[in-house]
Structure 1
């Protein structure tokens, strides 16, 4: 039986001391390995496509040459399998919101403790959880009214949602409010495996990368409304 491969990480932050602090924590984990450290977004994009491969990028937002938002956008557009976990000093940061819209899988505060950092990396890598769902909702509720979703599709929210069945809309709404698969199953009186199947269909139909993408989409289309 082959052992599972460690999670391959790229650290992207222009402050060397910050990278050093993260690396000390990550190097102590048997299931993680740092394959590259970079100081700007341009090098982060290059590192993701390097032969060593990458599963998760820890991405600072404000960096020289290319910021973390543009780097995230390019990584997602390249079709790379790597997930992006944004690092930020402030949780209510419009740049973080832009990064989530660009395809980042979640975000963490830079002063997060080691346990939260490691749990966040594993959650993003698994693709099954939203990192800090309550903080993600606060962020979206703060910026969605000010920064409407991508209008480049030329489609109304109803048209964008039109590809979903009524049940899929229900599941998407509950994901947007932060419920877990187990909680959604209980709410809709479904088996948890059925909920997972619906989520897979939603991701495929809407061309979304992960659960955070579903939350952002739910807010952008008005399926979930910011709390007054």
Structure 2
């Protein structure tokens, strides 16, 4: 997997390069200090996955993600975020981000996110999902339940699938959902895939936005 790192802080880029170099499946093919520099870099080399910071001078990560997705729709973008950047998450998803990972995540989590994005099976970090749900719940008259009532998912999904959706809207991971519903993790993964197929969505992130906007 060819990866690019975009962050205005050299220490962050160097740290990520050092960590990711420990995995033989990942190759760092470029780095940029902002979105504008990234777009210039992409004219000569296109990666499989981009790790994108949010707050950068000249062009921030949200605008850069939108630009990348418009020009290179097959490139996966994972946004690097911190706990104090809730306001950017929803806009990042609407602009086409394939996932979010916390900057202080360990190597295992970062590699897991990169592989998931590369394979097209987005893994939205549970803590980031929880923060997104919290942010959406601040919108007047919004809740996961009211969102589902408006769309009436019972006409589209089975009762069990609706239960899984309710768990997803609470920001729970497949592992946590499996424990709550007494299912295997593999079964939950299959349910999620079927739900997304029925609703013609690509990821949990799109599912959250889909229910929010009904």
Shorter-chain TM-score: which interval?
0.7 to 0.9
2:129 alignment partner, SS class:
helix
Structure 1: gaps (5+ residues): 1-6, 150-156, 223-228
1:9 alignment partner, SS class:
strand
Question: Is 1:88–1:107's contact at 8 Å kept on the other side of the alignment?
Answer: yes
Q: List structure 1 runs of 4+ shifted beyond 4 angstroms.
A: 146-149, 160-164, 171-174, 181-184, 186-189
In the superposition, the TM-score normalised over structure 2's length comes to 0.74
Verify: 1:113 aligned to 2:106, yes or no.
Answer: yes
- 1:156-195 correspondence runs (5 A): 161=151, 165-167=156-158, 170=162, 172-177=165-170, 178-180=172-174, 183=177, 187=181, 192=187, 195=191
1:63 alignment partner, SS class:
coil
Question: Is 1:176–1:216's contact at 8 Å kept on the other side of the alignment?
Answer: no
Q: CA RMSD in A?
A: 3.7
Aligned residues: 204
> 1:25 Cα deviation (Å)?
1.1
Residues 136/196 of structure 1: CA separation in 2 closer, same or farther (3 Å cut): closer
Question: Is 2:99–2:122's contact at 8 Å kept on the other side of the alignment?
Answer: no
2:194 maps to 198
Question: Is 1:8–1:55's contact at 8 Å kept on the other side of the alignment?
Answer: yes
Structure 2: gaps (5+ residues): none
Question: Is 1:12–1:57's contact at 8 Å kept on the other side of the alignment?
Answer: yes
2:124 maps to 131
Question: Is 1:91–1:135's contact at 8 Å kept on the other side of the alignment?
Answer: no
Q: Which of 33, 37, 56 is the aligned partner of 2:27? A: 33
> 1:18 Cα deviation (Å)?
1.2
> 1:183 Cα deviation (Å)?
4.5
Verify: 1:80 aligned to 2:84, yes or no.
Answer: no
> Counting helix residues as a fraction of each chain, which structure ranks higher?
2
What is the distance in 1 between the residues matched to 2:68 and 2:15?
A: 25
What is the distance in 2 between the residues matched to 1:119 and 1:140?
A: 22
In the superposition, the TM-score normalised over structure 1's length comes to 0.70
